[in-house]
Structure 1
């Protein structure tokens, strides 16, 4: 990937572990590789409208990729259209189906169930994903 790539990371604030993983492992590593990353933890400031921020990230023509970090909490909130994830799902879903660039929205499997099943929400279930659900896969992928 080159420096002209700009990524937005969509995820659920399920717990401190996933919040830290998104920021410290995923986003920071991408930035270290020279990729511009937009992350709410860095770019959403006090006083900003949360929903406008999410909508602008999905619709921003300078955002090349939207990484959708899928864990149990994200799947549940997306499928039930709950909270910020539910709002993002309402924004992303039409773009996902009409988007000519099929590579813009990429599911990232961050967690699996005890049975090894992924937590990809229904609206993205048919998409090819990147599996980063364990340290070995994270390094490999």
Structure 2
């Protein structure tokens, strides 16, 4: 063993000669792909007069990865601690809780027609099994991902800035809801008036902001947008969408301009947008509301 540096060791049950041949082919396939894979049959070719079961028991703890080839017979031997499989399984059972990434459970049997419960020994329930029949269709992508500790999907790092959305204003409790177009437009007029006064008093072109660019007015404006203007806009949208039947097609078109502006205005509050991405407040919406509310 002094000259062996096992990257991968294979634990399996010698069920039939056909199965042994398949395991040999699998081990050779891994070696062809650049992985120093060892199994008992390889050791037997290179050594004589040694206990190969004992050698495998020494290889498993020092191997970087251990592939367990599951079959119903492997399960039986592992659970009853029979023969070489039973001895290997004692080590596996002890290590697997501490070294999750070291052990790979695979099967040559298609899981589409084989019950997992017939393959997994006690202690390994719930663990992932690589169906080599399925993985072969993808060039053994999952197998090599596990062997090389390389993720299949490279996820982005978590952005330090969380995207947030402004809270929506709760509609006022009203036993006598707005019924007529004039009442609805009069309500919207008051809201637009509030938004306009706040914009004039604290907005980027307000006297405070222009006279003292380093003042806290920008922070105040951000707070006002989030807590008052955006909820006001959302209330207007909700109110008109609940009463679309009162609007003519022309008025609908003007309302949609306001809605596009309001949604872009809110997105810009959450994450800064290019100025071209935020349409200006449509003055014809204000004219429409004020005219009907008079």
TM range (shorter): 0.7 to 0.9
> Matches of 2:35 and 2:86 in 1, distance apart?
27
More strand by percentage: 1
Q: How many residues align?
A: 131
Matched position secondary structure for 2:37: strand
Residue 80 (1) aligns with residue 51 (2): no
Q: What do the CA deviations read for 1:101-122 (whole angstroms, capped 9, x no partner)?
A: x110111122258952131212
CA contact (8 A) 2:43 2:52 kept: no
Provide closer, same or farther for how the CA distance between residues 121 and 16 of structure 1 changes in structure 2, counting only shifts above 3 A.
same
More helix by percentage: 2
CA contact (8 A) 1:109 1:129 kept: yes
> Matches of 2:52 and 2:80 in 1, distance apart?
19
Match of 2:52 among 41, 44, 50: 50
Provide closer, same or farther for how the CA distance between residues 39 and 86 of structure 1 changes in structure 2, counting only shifts above 3 A.
same
Provide closer, same or farther for how the CA distance between residues 104 and 113 of structure 1 changes in structure 2, counting only shifts above 3 A.
closer
CA contact (8 A) 1:14 1:73 kept: yes
Q: Which stretch shifts more, 64-73 or 105-114?
A: 105-114
Matched position secondary structure for 1:97: coil
Backbone CA RMSD of aligned residues: 2.2
> Matches of 2:11 and 2:94 in 1, distance apart?
16
Please state how far the C-alpha of 1:53 moved relative to its aligned partner: 1.0
> Matches of 2:72 and 2:95 in 1, distance apart?
23
> Matches of 1:131 and 1:115 in 2, distance apart?
11
CA contact (8 A) 1:9 1:67 kept: yes
Which residue matches 1:117? 115
Q: What do the CA deviations read for 1:26-72 (whole angstroms, capped 9, x no partner)?
A: 11111111111111101143321234212211211xx2110000011
Matched position secondary structure for 2:76: helix
CA contact (8 A) 2:78 2:85 kept: yes
Q: What do the CA deviations read for 1:61-104 (whole angstroms, capped 9, x no partner)?
A: xx2110000011111111111111111111211111233xx110
Which residue matches 1:7? 8
- Moved segments of 4+, more than 4 Å: 112-115
Provide closer, same or farther for how the CA distance between residues 32 and 84 of structure 1 changes in structure 2, counting only shifts above 3 A.
same
Which residue matches 2:61? 59
